[in-house]
Amino acid sequence: MRGLLALAILATAAAAPAQPQVPGPFNSGNQFLRLCPTEAWRMLCKTYTIGFAEGVLPNANVPVCTPEGVDIGQMYEVAIKFIRDNPERAHMKTRHLLTMAWAQAWPCEKRPVK
């Protein structure tokens, strides 16, 4: 059954006409900042944010230690604020800016060994 579903998806994708690539909010901080606050993009941007936070960040060896209780809305707002407060970095890839924003907001502190 899964094989038939996969085959159907591939056939549909192959039959679909090629669409021009539209720059999304994930290519740069400039695009993230311009598109994500709009109603049309906000949910997609938050979905990207949670996917990055849960799927990529834990495996990236980045010193980010979010405290308990931090939710996706807060992580999204911290990212937006970081990009606004650092316009000289807004040309960078969104994934790098999210990492920098969260590392600044929630750095991992060295805990004494007991």
CA–CA gap between residue 53 and residue 60 (Å, rounded): 10
pLDDT of residue 15: 43
pLDDT range class, residue 23, cuts 50, 70, 90: low
pLDDT averaged over every residue in the chain: 80
Mean pLDDT of all residues in 95-103: 93
> Taking Cα atoms as reference points, which of 110, 39, 112, 48 lies closest to residue 79?
48
pLDDT in tens, 39-53: 989 999 999 999 988
98 or 109: which leads in pLDDT: 98
Tell me which fold the domain 23-105 belongs to. 10k-s Protein, Hypothetical Protein A; Chain A (1.10.890)
What pTM does this model have? 0.72
Ordered by start, the domain boundaries in the chain are 23-105
Judged by phi (left if over 0) then psi (alpha if -120 to 50, else beta), residue 71 lies in beta
